[in-house]
Amino acid sequence: MLGAGRLAGFLHRAWRAGAVLTVSTGLFHLINLVGPGRLYLGPLLVTPFRVFFGLTWIILIAGYANRREWPRLDRADLIVAGAAIVFLLRGFFHPSTFDIVFDWVATGAGVYFLVRLGIRSRFDVKVLLISVAAVGVAQALFGLGEYLAKSNPLFNSVQVDVIGAAQQIQASSQFYRIRALVGHPGFLGAFLLGVMPLAMLVLWRRRFLLAGALAALAAALFLTFSRGSWLLGMLVPLPILAFRARYWVRRNLKWLAPAALIPLALVAFNYWDQEEVSINTPGYVIQESGLRWVGGYDGPVVAVSGESIGLQPLNKFIYFRVDKSFLNGSRDPVTVVIHYFDKGLGAIRVDYDSWNSSPGNGAYNPTAAINKTNSHQWETAAFYLKDPRFQGRENEGADFRVVDDDSIFTLDQVTVQKGRLSLPSLVVNQWLSRSASISTRENLFPFAWSVLKQHPLGVGVFNSPGTGHHAVDSLPLTWMMEFGWPGLLLILALAFLFVAEGVKVWKEPHSAAAVLYIALAVVVLHGAFLMILYDKPSLVLMAAVAAVYASIRPWRRGGAVVSVSNRDCIL
């Protein structure tokens, strides 16, 4: 039989392995959603995350029982426990939402206390941080492969009822936004941003490994095309990286400056040298530049106004003719970019005059279709035409037509560019395609305030009005609506705690705890405005990092639970 000391050591090593597996499976979120990762045992749903979560809690409790100890909690632990209790109590008042409330509370508070109560040594801290950083790099590499393939086979097998709706996240193959194993581009952006400071902490001595990890994380972050993530990346992680590497940059500035100018010059030349024709409809005026709208007998259109201004088809089709001098008889491929108001749930495609020799298909060769999502927002889609003929063989001498199955979308701009879209075009079109999202969030502030005045005690957890989802775009506003004035006080209390900890971090900016605080700050700021804290990978990341932070911060009463320095965390 094992002695008490050897048993305690065995249980702690088992907890350490279980904690790493719990956090890792929580961050690799999609493996818990695909068919093979979900097993129903009667009413009980079993996933890899839940299995490791439950087993590790059993090991943790057994360890405390073997040592005959009780957990010691401090202020941060009590605040987390209090927030969890508040959520559960609100869930009791709305039984229909209690199951999902319990699931989210168990995930967030459960992972926090699982890690927080188990950490006992510097090695525990190091292993946990390295595992989180490794998962982040693995997610980034998976996302890069996903972008090259323009497909996520794991996501395609996700059970639809789990994610709520079968919606196509990317606008088209050229505007593909990676999701990796997180499940959504915006959520992935928050996760990658949170991992960046941790990767810098654990890999600081391994310069080449650090450079490779940051390059993979930054490239994956770029390919999420999440504007909020880009802005936070420039405001938080990038200045930190510049500060930590300032001496290296100074020594190599004479090489870095010319190296930076070369890609900028290539991008600028590519942007100004691009060849395109276009047509747009600002207001009710059609402006043509090498591309003309053709009113075919089966393609009548009507000018619409209201929530969208542009051309709407009356019979699925809108025809266009390209200036003959654009291709000049060549067989070079082109890309058709359309800016449309997303209304309805049908499909959109382009039928074009091609060199396809199959009978009856050459003049109306179809591209792959894009599914609309009825978002009632302006979207951008790109269709790659590999063999355009453009000799006017469609109705009324048209070269291609845009097809909407529902005949209810609105088209206000069409551009035809030679070849595939250049990088500047991709960025600009991705940015403009979701231009309404900022104003949408701004409009929620007065709406949330009016709901708060009408319902002082809130509308109940996951019952926010004006949306079919369990939350709206801004997490603080959601709490105001769901909890009423108590929710507003909860926001203010957490904001005070966040600022107070930030003041203490400012006094010791080079400590390992400061790096963890920055990672938490990025995720919290991202989620406060973009609803990311309701996503499980972000919730698991925040809970695990917060637990480690609470254990190593040196300014807690009585000192840190585990005293560490930067050197203790670095590989």
Q: Is the pLDDT of residue 467 over 60?
A: no
In this prediction, residues 50-71 reach a mean pLDDT of 93
In this prediction, residues 209-227 reach a mean pLDDT of 90
pLDDT digits (tens, 9 = 90+) for 26-48: 999 888 887 777 888 877 888 99
Residue 194 is predicted with a pLDDT of: 93
pLDDT digits (tens, 9 = 90+) for 2-27: 566 788 889 999 999 999 999 999 99
pTM score, whole prediction: 0.80
Pick the most confident of 75-79, 335-339, 465-469, 478-482. 335-339
Helices (H), 93-206: 95-116, 122-149, 153-156, 160-163, 185-202
Residue 297, exposed/middle/buried by CB under 10 A (0-12, 13-18, 19+)?
exposed
Q: Is the pLDDT of residue 558 over 60?
A: yes
Q: What torsion do the CA atoms of 397, 402, 405, 410 make, to the nearest 10 degrees?
A: -120
pLDDT digits (tens, 9 = 90+) for 496-546: 888 888 898 888 888 889 899 999 998 888 877 655 556 789 889 999 999
Q: Is the pLDDT of residue 159 over 60?
A: no
pLDDT digits (tens, 9 = 90+) for 324-356: 888 877 888 898 988 888 888 888 999 999 988
More confident: 140 or 326:
140
Residue 534 is predicted with a pLDDT of: 61
Which pLDDT band, with edges at 50, 70 and 90, does 267 fall under? low
Q: Is the pLDDT of residue 464 over 80?
A: no
Domains annotated for the chain, with CATH where assigned, are 4-250+508-569 (no CATH), 276-421 (2.60.120.260)
Contact 541, 139 (CB under 8 A): no
Q: Is the pLDDT of residue 266 over 70?
A: no
Q: Is the pLDDT of residue 300 over 50?
A: yes
Q: Is the pLDDT of residue 164 over 70?
A: no
β-pair partners for 280: 287, 413
Q: Is the pLDDT of residue 310 over 90?
A: no
Residue 272 is predicted with a pLDDT of: 61
* Both structure tokens of 74: 């401090």
Least confident of 53-57, 83-87, 210-214: 83-87
Residues sharing a CB contact under 8 Å with residue 101, sequence separation 6 or more, in sequence order? 87, 88, 90, 91, 461, 462
b/e code 12-34 from CB counts within 10 Å (16+ = b): bebbbebbbbbbbbbbbbbbbbb
Across all residues in the chain, what is the average pLDDT?
82
95: left (phi over 0), alpha (psi -120 to 50) or beta: alpha
* Residue 254 CA to its chain's centroid (Å): 36
Backbone dihedral angles phi then psi of residue 460, each to the nearest 5 degrees: 105, 150
